[in-house]
Amino acid sequence: MDKSSRLSGFYKLSLAERIDLLEQMADLTDEEASALSGTHGLAAAQAEHMIENVVGVFGLPLGIATNFVVNGRDVLVPMAIEEPSVVAGASLAALLVREGGGFEASSDPPLMIGQIQVLDVKDLPLARSDLLAARERILTLANAQDPVIVKLGGGARDLEVRVVEDSPVGAMLVVHLVYDTRDAMGANAVNTALEAVAPLVAEICGGRTLLRILSNLADRRLARARCRLPAGSLAHGDFGGEQVARSIVEAWALATVDPYRAATHNKGIMNGIDAVVIATGNDWRAIEAGAHAYAARAGSYTSLSNWELDGSGHLVGTLELPMAVGIVGGATRSHATARAAVKLLGVRTASELAQVIVAVGLAQNLAALRALTSEGIQQGHMKLHARQVAMAAGAQGEMIDRVVQGMLEAKIVRADKAEDILKQLTVRS
Ligand code: MEV
């Protein structure tokens, strides 16, 4: 997309107008546009081939976060999420960051780790050195399993052997196969390679192999984003920019030392990350597992992001975490909406997708901290939450806004209140 993602007033357009605009901006075909709009997303007949015992498909709102600039490129970000305020929060933070040039992001090569657990080994150090000596043989066998990925420049890269001295069942060896998965998330390629080489590993070290599975702590496949914005740009309402910037650093400080706060702080980051991961058909459980394991890598659970004030009055934020996402394979290709979402993002590689996703996580963290350290999140949140409560109470069409207004005026956002207001309005009309 070579057009600006600064779409002022996008939220005021009708659903159809928003889709039309996206179609023009990202050169979407009618089919891709209807996949995004949900009219031709995932059909039950296709879902039938994806998992077992299918009875239908489950919908989630798909919103577009605007204003993002990542590595100098304007990006419209598709986000699949049920929680109000997330898309608006990301768009607002992206707007603030945009004024300072946008997000800078980078990522490691797409290296995944696959593990083979080896038990009943008599001489662990000897087995380790025998395995390392057979490195080339093992890598060659691993690479014979997927000539396509090898042709694309990926495949098994390295072998590492860890001695685990003690566990509830005693000592064992853990073999790590480091595998370049290119533009795929890579679980299938890695697991296939592990299952193929495990008998050779067992033969070389005279042990018994048990687990042969990818690790979701993808710490060789980190992605990172950075933003820098003038403190003054954080001013809003009665809150001065410098005060908000300082408060953001103070709020972040608690997340660095307190797991109770870190869990919520990181949850806010994952609000943004998961929404894009889901929209692009990627495995969000894998991303969640990797993120939280990485947040605990030093032995205690802490913040995934960092915030500081630099010497020139700027607030600087950074975020780094494992980002094992793909743009080929699995639902990323078989799900029409996910395919259209990747096209809208305009990313050409899995690494580029990872970079955008981490930028969205950082934006989401900024939006949450900005709100939490000033007016609080409930004010904005309640308005949107009230819409869901009104709809759950049965309000439709223009009644939704009237029920919402009634609840906000009464300062009671609850199902029973919504039902009362709806009843009164229905009697009157
Ligand atoms: C709510 O979904 C996310 C927040 O709790 C994140 C945070 O506290 O930083 C607002």
398 is catalytic: no
- In the chain, the largest separation of any two C-alpha atoms, in whole Å, equals 85
Take atom 10 of ligand 1 and give the residue whose Cα is closest.
368
Q: Distance between CA atoms of 197 and 177, rounded to whole angstroms?
A: 10
| Opening angle at CA 267, ends 262 and 269, nearest 5 | 100
Tokens, residue 18? 């928003």
Q: How remote is the CA of residue 381 from the centroid of ligand 1, in Å?
A: 11
Ligand 1 nearest-atom number relative to CA 271: 2
Asked if residues 293 and 215 have their Cβ atoms less than 8 Å apart, the reply is no
pLDDT at 1: 63
The distance in angstroms from the start CA to the end CA of the chain is 47
Q: Distance between CA atoms of 294 and 352, rounded to whole angstroms?
A: 21
pLDDT at 330: 78
Q: Which CATH number fits domain 111-214: 2.130.10.10, 3.30.70.420, 3.30.70.3420, 3.40.50.300?
A: 3.30.70.420
CATH 3.40.605.10 describes domain 10-108+221-375: no
Ligand 1 nearest-atom number relative to CA 83: 2
pLDDT at 378: 75
Nearest in space to 94 (alpha carbons), one of 317, 376, 352: 317
DSSP letters, 205-258, are HT-EEEEEEE-S--TTSEEEEEEEEEGGGG-BTTB-HHHHHHHHHHHHHHHHH-
23, 283, 320, 352: which is the annotated catalytic residue? 283
Asked if residues 229 and 367 have their Cβ atoms less than 8 Å apart, the reply is no
Tokens, residue 425? 């309005």
Asked if residues 195 and 136 have their Cβ atoms less than 8 Å apart, the reply is no
Stretches where the chain sits below pLDDT 70 are: 1-2, 429
pLDDT at 4: 94
Cα dihedral 211→213→214→217 (10° resolution): -30
CATH 1.10.8 describes domain 379-428: yes
pTM score, two decimals?
0.91
Q: How remote is the CA of residue 267 from the centroid of ligand 1, in Å?
A: 6
- pLDDT per residue as tens digits for the range 368-427: 999 999 888 777 777 778 888 999 999 998 899 999 999 988 989 999 999 999 999 998
Asked if residues 367 and 251 have their Cβ atoms less than 8 Å apart, the reply is no
40, 267, 314, 385: which is the annotated catalytic residue? 267
DSSP letters, 272-315, are HHHHHHHHTT--HHHHHHHHHHHHTTTSS---SEEEEE-TTSEE
Name residues contacting ligand 1 (CB within 6 A).
Answer: 83, 264-265, 267-268, 271, 368, 372, 377
- Domains of the chain, by residue range, sit at 10-108+221-375, 111-214, 379-428
